[in-house]
């Protein structure tokens, strides 16, 4: 059987790192990226010949396509690209530098890499793009407005990409992963509930990849919260 090749953008910690370990375990050849090169060493690797790391800052837009191209030529192809790089900051005082940084990562970096991947998959006639958005993208948030708004952008953009590639049928898949809370550095603060262990999140994402799902909620029960979020009136939302 042909060995599958995957790139994970943002795999130095959290969901991306756990996915890298799982894909390696499943026999994939994996290209991983992130800014913190030292953390790459902590990925549990049995066979170092099947993993390649490239330092990447997704805010540095002019470098992204070249790094993706380098990874693909080093790996000799690409079947799957997962974008797990993302940030969110509490910013009640609306410091624009904070909002701008979130926009650069979650919108500009995301779009540049997603577009590169879709162009690549169209050229070869098949492929699978996965992005980790969030339940947060469904409604606005007064404490971290840019986080929820950029996740709303991702959800909408992925739907657009799915329409963009419709003539490829099931040969090109776009999967939108919408977690509630996953136990990583990003899930900070009080009042967290239904927090999924990161390994469980990675396993559910891998199942969704195999099933070529378009949308995945992590965990499943968060689909219920998503439904509620969509229908609750603003007068209630502002009090949550």
Ligand X SMILES: NC(=O)c1ccc[n+]([C@@H]2O[C@H](COP(=O)([O-])OP(=O)(O)OC[C@H]3O[C@@H](n4cnc5c(N)ncnc54)[C@H](OP(=O)(O)O)[C@@H]3O)[C@@H](O)[C@H]2O)c1
Residues that bind ligand X (CB under 6 A): 10-16, 34-36, 39, 56-59, 84-88, 105, 132, 134, 179, 181-182, 184-187
* Residues 46/121, Cβ–Cβ less than 8 Å: no
Least Å distance between CB 147 and ligand X? 7
- Which two structure tokens, joined as six digits, stand for 101? 């940084």
Q: For ligand X, give the closer residue by CB, 31 or 179.
A: 179
d(CA 24, CA 47): 8
Q: Of 78, 59, 92, nearest to 4 (Cα)?
A: 78
Q: How far is the CB of 235 from ligand X (least distance, A)?
A: 26
Distances in whole angstroms, Cα of residue 190 to Cα of each of 132, 182, 193, 231 = 22, 14, 9, 24
Between 31 and 88, whose beta carbon lies closer to ligand X? 88
Tell me how far, at minimum, the Cβ of 216 lies from ligand X, in Å: 12
Report the residue number, 15 or 75, with the smaller CB distance to ligand X.
Answer: 15
Secondary structure (3-state) at 148: helix
Residue nearer to ligand X on the CB measure, 86 or 127: 86
Minimum distance from CB of 127 to ligand X (Å)?
20
């Amino acid at each position: 059987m042909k060995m599958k090749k995957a790139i994970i953008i943002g795999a130095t910690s959290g969901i991306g790192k756990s996915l890298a370990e799982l894909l390696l375990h499943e026999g994939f050849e994996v290209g991983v990226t992130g800014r913190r090169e030292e953390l790459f060493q902590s990925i549990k690797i049995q066979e170092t010949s099947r993993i390649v790391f490239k330092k990447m800052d997704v805010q540095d837009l002019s470098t992204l396509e070249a790094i993706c191209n380098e990874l693909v030529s080093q790996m000799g192809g690409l079947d799957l690209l997962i974008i797990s790089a993302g940030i969110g900051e509490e910013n009640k005082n609306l410091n624009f530098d904070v909002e701008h940084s979130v926009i650069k990562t979650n919108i500009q970096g995301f779009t540049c890499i997603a577009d590169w991947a879709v162009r690549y998959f169209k050229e070869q006639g098949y492929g699978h793009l996965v992005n980790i958005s969030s339940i947060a993208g469904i409604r606005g948030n007064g404490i971290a407005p840019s986080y929820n708004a950029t996740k709303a952008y991702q959800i909408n953009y992925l739907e657009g990409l799915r329409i963009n590639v419709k003539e490829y049928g099931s040969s090109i898949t776009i999967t939108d992963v919408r977690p509630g809370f996953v136990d990583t550095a990003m899930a900070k603060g009080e009042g967290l509930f239904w927090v999924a262990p990161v390994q469980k999140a990675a396993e559910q994402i891998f199942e969704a990849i195999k099933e070529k799902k378009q949308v995945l909620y992590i965990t499943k029960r968060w689909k219920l919260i998503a439904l509620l979020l969509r229908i609750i009136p603003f007068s209630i939302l502002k009090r949550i």
